[in-house]
Structure 1
């Protein structure tokens, strides 16, 4: 026996030497014979088989879906599997010689090192389940608008997927490198019973037997059976497992539009009433202005009324479900943007400015048109004045005509040319009122009718004049045009702000005509002093009549 053992061990040693760097005979990996193959050959043989794993086939309703292993988190560790194939039969007691001998006498199977990423697998299964799930169809109601008869349309069961079971089945298929197919495990979801559908059909018939009176939105509205029939429908609930009477959403929206129009009473803003003025301030250099007290009348505001759409929709749904034939829809009170109390705070002339023009020019037509558009505008506390927003695009249909306009440092004819004078005049009125100046752009060419560094061009829609009413009172904008110029006057209450403008000297501008810095100083009643310098650069100077 000892001699036989020695002989066998010797044979194992000889095999070790003969298969150095190679897999021992009879080693198989995932069914692939790799005996006698070196590392590169093992990689080639099993890599081609396991790395190119065929899709998992999934069946449901006689249809087959395929899931790529990579989508399900399938990973094959080729390097580790190759190394274990080379080590097979070379480890264990007595230096692994008994194991080597076992490899010579029989087949040694080495498992492929395959893993499945749980997160990727669950994501793939959820995607499969979404495609396979089918909500129950709760049924439907077919209404004959002429007779009010209602017929129930049968429901249909739904289907759910057991995702936990499907996950385990796909995992086992991937790890075993099986050929499938895998059946998707499902369960049936019961739908609305026929008896319940018939009961709802009879309820709908009873509801449609009388008109529906809706009050609360102006004069009462009576909906006839012809109008109600398209509105009533079956409302599926709990994913189609149950149902109740409901309303068609599109037709309900149309009905709410109708009710909203009947209920609507727009709020009316309170309006301060003050006269347009003649010229008060016209200077182009160092100027100052302080508010002056004035008598201002007020046209009171009035709250409005609007339909509460969501609450009205729910009230109509409840009436249909309960079979009631009278429903009162709720409304809400809407407040004006400018209240009477706010308007009564207007007791000052807070800013004004006048710029001249030569009467009879086409540009004056445009100035008068824009001035009339913004006259009597009221800017609520915290709101923003936008000249483009108020006047829109200048067109012939609005009464504007062609007149000179500065574009790219050139003077060209344009419909609405000249309205920059309105912008400049409004800008200076807001400037001396001490209001928050948000956006203005000076002309590229200086025009001598305007204060240098204190003017504002305009172009729709990209160049605008904007300022914010940062006071507690509304601001009333009044305009006045005469044969000699335009005056803009602002009424409000700015808390006694005093404003001065201090222009610096004209300085040469590199590549241009000149530049100038004008500092606005705002003195508040509480003692604060805010200085706001603005530097403007001009290319050239242009005589007044050309723009």
Structure 2
């Protein structure tokens, strides 16, 4: 076996050590032999002990000591490889074959029909906002695959082998032999998957905690008071999952999630010290120099660049203050452009092979803003970060004199990468918007369609004066192009339709364009309003009739970038920011037609049970008005967006009638 050489080496090592010790005992005892009978007796006992130790060392070298178990599996006398195999044999199949149901409460555990509740949640997953779906959750179903859980058999075997050696020495070995020593079996989880489950549990059964922190508003840093919350301990969650997946000898294990007190991770002293340090830093006069011009930055402008976040480390949680480069770049670029003479720089975007290149209409000189911001960060914020460190008791002394930061000028090449163009301020983020969606087994097709349409539309370029059409850019959504059937509203009811879900992408793009102030020529609302975006600001698309169309009225190209995660979409517009100021006048909801209810029968359900397949909603109307102003305050346009939401028929699915005398179970909620 592969472990034989190692075992032999261990035996030789033990024998060598014992032999060396015996030799030393022999040399020491030689001088005593002739002195007393007692010395000869001691020597005999020592030699006998040495023989026993050599024999024991040979017998146990490279093997787990007796009395050691792993999760109840006796691994005493085994090599590490044999122990690993025994652990995997005992727990591998159990880990892979167990489903775990986690309940939100004891009441849910006692009363909720798991399969019926899952039908309910999956049916409504596409009809509710992420927040509504989260609040309604009563259970979570997971397994080893979803959690990225594996059995660390090699690690557990090594831990068993260490008992009586690195772990506790002779005392631990004797204890294992007399009373036994069990090493609890556990799984290794994917950190991101475990955290995602923990966050979902927190959102339903927990109460958010507020860390002691700092908010920066209107040029002033103020302390945010910490408040304890109730959250699910990730260690406790992992332990409960271990118990369910590995120690419960059932195919379906269950437990009730528990939220624990969660105090602030930071202290009042950290927050007050950070606020004091920031206010002292913001009180310093700040200027940037570029091409012999001096640009003043007000206290309010500099404050708007700052972010304060809690970061955890081994030493404890810290309040970390940073300069947001995108916001700082936007301010400085506007100041530099305002002072520049001549026509504004026009840029073009070229997309080839997934790479975006930014080109200019001539040789231009650009500021190295990111380098200047790094200098600013070190000079201005070091005291604040020191005050926010774990164990801090206040703000350190710091300079109060004026701070002037030089900005180097370089000649831009004819073409730059998008990252380089952003770093120097040649282009910037004009606007960005993110929406979230529920990602479950039942919404897998919808998620697929969302990602597919994002890939198709990503990095679209709209030339100066050009327009962008969702349908023209995306084309017809067909099965041949890879689109799947997913939830869509047809004739006031939810049903599957090829390409279902892409309207969320249209809504995300619409809101990014809305916030940019660019003209919007065509937009239609959905049939159903979902509270995942501002009221009246959704956009429906359907080939070939319903479309989203907007225009680029600037003198440079606009790039539309779409990115996504498993539960969110972000639409970002890049280009030369026209500096439009956007404001919104909200309307009021006006009630419309009431919804109706329809019942379907499903004989596969248990008698007397039912669930809601489609949540009913009444019709309603809403409007918002967007006002767009130029940098000089001139009103460029006022756009009224009207939304009429149709009533959605409630659909209840019922099983066979309950036997006489047995009350029917109401739809899950």
Q: TM-score, normalised by structure 1?
A: 0.37
Which of the pair is proportionally richer in helix?
2
Greater Rg by CA: 1
Q: TM-score, normalised by structure 2?
A: 0.30
